[in-house]
Structure 1
Amino acid sequence: MKKYWFIITLCILMLGAGALTYPSLPSKIPIHFNIHGQIDGYCDKIYIFAIPLMTAILSAVMAFLPHLDPHKANYAKFQKSYDAFINVFALFISMMFAITMYSAYYPNSLDVPMIITLAVGLLVSWIGNVMPKFRWNYFIGIRCPWTLASEQVWFLTHRFAGKVWMIGGLLIIAGAFLPPMISFLYLITVVLMMSFIPMIYAYLKYQEIDKGEKI
């Protein structure tokens, strides 16, 4: 339980902030923004409590998933990185909570697309930094037929993908300063490249190793 103190603290802070501000919150709070940063979706203000509850539930699910993994013994080899991933994910959601709270009082005063794009870029770069530490498993990492079929391909692919994701994160950060529509299309392009390049690499490595074993 001690290793989850950060997430517990975040959830308590969000619940506390929601309770303290609830009486003064507008009856409808923003839950969605378009690519230009304008609010285009609202819901009842009770939703403000759903965000910390969702954070707690998702964090608990991610903490439990390793127990269901056939390769659960491998998690011990990257437990610190996995725990850090859960914490960073919770921090990302808490940022969305802060944006929702601020926008409820000051609608359309934040450049939400830029903030989220910068946060996504930082998150992706951080994941890229820890990705080489991920060991063979079914729940986190580059999971495709070739990495799941071979532990060696998994290792090589994640060492390569870590670099791709770090560069991809920096490219995403740079794209945050482009005009909204261009930034959105640019983000989609970078994400697709980050997704497919490691899988292509995994396929090629699998074929190379498979041929070597048959010789």
Structure 2
Amino acid sequence: MWRATPLTLFPAMFPGPLGLSLAGDGIARGLWSCDPYDIRLHGLGRHRTVDDTPAGGGAGMVMRADVLAAALDAAAPAGDPRPRLLMSPRGRPLDQARVRALASGPGVVVLCGRFEGVDERVIAARSLEEVSVGDFVLSGGEVACLALLDACVRLLPGVMGKELSGAEESFEGGLLEYPHYTRPRDFEGRDIPPVLLGGDHGRIAAWRRAEAERITRERRPDLLGRKG
């Protein structure tokens, strides 16, 4: 079973939307698990404090290294083979190749930061891999973690209804996905491309490839020549 352990101040956010549809069915069938761990269990004092003012001054609060280290050690003890990730806007951009690698392993341990960030020392002390889902800032790492988990879970054997469908999506093969059409044949004067209705699977495959290349050139030329 592929195991996900998000470390968060808001465990009720998990599995969230991943408890529904195909991902939720995967949990019910024992294909993967999502067991959030409450960081505040290791908070200090009567109020379970997890943060403090930043050294050197500045706005906001910083999550304490000692609290986070204790939570990480409890949620994923020594010997746990899963990679430890930290959702962070300064991290390495998440791409489909990294998603495939994570999905092929035993699961993930994901630290969801809050406030201004986490004490830098815990990143080094616990060998956290910083991962970003985009060049923007969120209120916390939970939403980013859900995106990462969704991307991984849908690649697990048996989760998706048809294995081939995952291989034909955006970023698989280094290209964005080709356009899709379904009934009705005519929609407000816009027809389905005739090649898709002719039954020639070779021509259909060639059209889809050409469209994927065209869309990638127009929208994400940086992907061309890169492996998915």
TM-score after normalising by structure 1: 0.29
Which structure: larger Rg?
Answer: 2
- Is the helix fraction higher in 1 or 2? 1
Comparing both structures, which one devotes a greater share of its residues to strand? 2
